[in-house]
């Protein structure tokens, strides 16, 4: 089933386009629908679509407020070829047919603007360029031939002792550097108005977590809310909140958090890339505080055990860093055939 057929099955109406539906707006709408197809409401797999489904008013709403000029992608999908390809086909279809509009569609469009980070700091509706921008990475590790081994690795590194690596005695300097690193990480979205202040919900009375608002009501529509709370602490060590903020915003980039669609069970794989990145970021910060080079190995007095493997935490952080440098992203790195040979220390051919 191709994208256009799939969208028609999902109920994307084909009617006369509104007068102001210019070609540019149609392309923007196509790009945003394609984002949902590839990264969001509908699951993307090599065969393209799995019928996880979404109400037609959601698809139509996201596209319609774009066509009405309420949102401009600002080239947000330039480096995502799978979206660009889908957008090209969808743009042609939209030019031929247009979109349907109704009061409920307009209501949803208003809610998605009002509940997005510009007007509601810390919330990300489907208007946010952050939502789903890295979801293909998560999908790639889920479908990797060595997914079972990756699943085992999640349980090994998604632990407080693997990321709380900064001495409390260095907290002031560490928090300053971590805040700067978070600002650098989200700078790619600055054209949309995203800032460190509105990217996440800062709540020192809470624990860091990610909440998905998925109840459709008169005053609410789907959004993600990354919350950054008090620093994670293990004895004399902690994780600065700036690094925790990177972890939480990465969940938004992956497009969702928690249970698989249609299931009430938590999906541990959503923590693989975020936990790996948090380890690498915390390790880099520790080295900077200690005036050590990137290639140095810090002895954290802790080993990571999964399967038959037992690797010192500092060594594993360096191996993940090297793997990501080779492949350009965490998703590509962990999905690559060389992931486990490198992470476990087996010589590469």
Average pLDDT over residues 145-150: 88
Specify the higher pLDDT residue, 9 or 118: 118
pLDDT of amino acid 333: 96
Share of the chain above pLDDT 70, in %: 65
Take residue 113 and report the two structure tokens written for it: 């603007």
Could you write out the DSSP letters of every residue in 155-216?
HHHSSGGGT--EEGGGHHHHHHHHHHHHHHHHGGGGGGT--HHHHSEE-TTS--EEEEE---
> How confident is the model over 31-87, as pLDDT tens digits?
555 555 444 433 322 222 222 233 333 444 444 433 433 333 444 444 455 555 555
DSSP 271: G
Q: Whole-angstrom Cα distance, residue 166 to residue 345?
A: 26
Average pLDDT over residues 141-163: 91
pLDDT of amino acid 202: 97
Give CA angle at 168 (293, 244), nearest 5°: 75
> How confident is the model over 269-303, as pLDDT tens digits?
889 999 999 999 999 999 999 999 999 999 999 99
Q: Whole-angstrom Cα distance, residue 304 to residue 286?
A: 18
Average pLDDT over residues 112-123: 94
DSSP 266: B
The mean pLDDT of the chain is 76
Average pLDDT over residues 177-192: 96
Q: Whole-angstrom Cα distance, residue 128 to residue 149?
A: 33
When pLDDT is cut at 50, 70 and 90, the band that residue 337 belongs to is very high
Kind and range of the H or E run holding 5: helix 3-9
pLDDT of amino acid 232: 95
Residue listed under structure tokens 């969001």: 40
Is a pLDDT exceeding 70 seen at residue 173?
Answer: yes
Average pLDDT over residues 254-269: 56
Strand 209-213's sheet: what is its strand order? 201-202, 223-228, 209-213
When pLDDT is cut at 50, 70 and 90, the band that residue 133 belongs to is confident
Using alpha carbons, list the distances in angstroms from residue 65 to 26, 57, 59, 264: 11, 12, 11, 32
Identify the CA nearest to 272 among candidates 326, 343, 211: 343
Q: Whole-angstrom Cα distance, residue 184 to residue 186?
A: 6
When pLDDT is cut at 50, 70 and 90, the band that residue 346 belongs to is low
Overall pTM > 0.85: no
pLDDT of amino acid 345: 72
When pLDDT is cut at 50, 70 and 90, the band that residue 213 belongs to is confident
SS3 296: coil
Asked whether 252 and 226 are in contact (CB, 8 A), the reply is yes
Q: Whole-angstrom Cα distance, residue 94 to residue 279?
A: 44
Specify the higher pLDDT residue, 26 or 287: 287
pLDDT of amino acid 323: 96
Specify the higher pLDDT residue, 245 or 107: 245
Q: Whole-angstrom Cα distance, residue 225 to residue 231?
A: 18
């Amino acid at each position: 089933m191709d994208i256009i057929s799939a969208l028609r099955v999902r109920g994307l109406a084909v009617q006369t386009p509104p007068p102001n539906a210019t070609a540019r707006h149609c392309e923007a709408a196509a790009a945003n629908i394609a984002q949902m197809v590839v990264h969001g409401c509908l699951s993307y797999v090599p065969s393209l679509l799995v019928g996880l489904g979404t109400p037609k008013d959601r698809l139509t709403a996201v596209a319609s407020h774009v066509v009405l000029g309420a949102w401009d992608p600002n080239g947000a999908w330039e480096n995502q070829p799978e979206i660009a390809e889908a957008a090209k086909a969808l743009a042609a279809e939209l030019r031929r047919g247009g979109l349907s509009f109704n009061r409920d569609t307009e209501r949803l469009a208003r809610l998605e603007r009002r509940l997005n980070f510009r007007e509601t700091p810390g919330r990300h509706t489907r208007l946010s360029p952050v939502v789903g921008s890295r979801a293909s990475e998560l999908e790639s590790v889920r479908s990797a031939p060595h997914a079972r081994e990756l699943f085992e690795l999640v349980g090994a590194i998604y632990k407080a002792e693997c990321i709380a690596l900064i001495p409390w005695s260095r907290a002031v300097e560490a928090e300053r550097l971590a805040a700067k690193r978070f600002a650098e990480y989200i700078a790619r979205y600055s054209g949309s108005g995203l800032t460190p202040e509105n990217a996440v919900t800062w709540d020192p009375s809470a624990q860091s977590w990610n909440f998905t608002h998925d109840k459709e009501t008169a005053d609410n529509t789907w959004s993600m809310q990354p919350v950054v709370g008090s620093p994670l602490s293990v004895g004399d060590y902690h994780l600065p909140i700036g690094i925790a903020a990177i972890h939480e915003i990465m969940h938004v980039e992956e497009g969702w958090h928690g249970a698989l669609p249609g299931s009430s069970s938590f999906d541990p794989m959503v923590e693989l890339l975020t936990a790996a990145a948090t380890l690498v970021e915390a390790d880099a910060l520790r080295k900077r505080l200690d005036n050590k080079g990137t290639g140095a190995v810090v002895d954290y007095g802790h080993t990571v055990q999964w399967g038959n493997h037992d690797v010192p935490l500092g060594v594993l952080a360096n191996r993940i860093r090297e793997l990501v440098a080779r492949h350009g992203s965490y998703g590509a790195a962990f999905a690559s055939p060389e992931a486990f040979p490198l992470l476990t220390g087996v010589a590469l051919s």
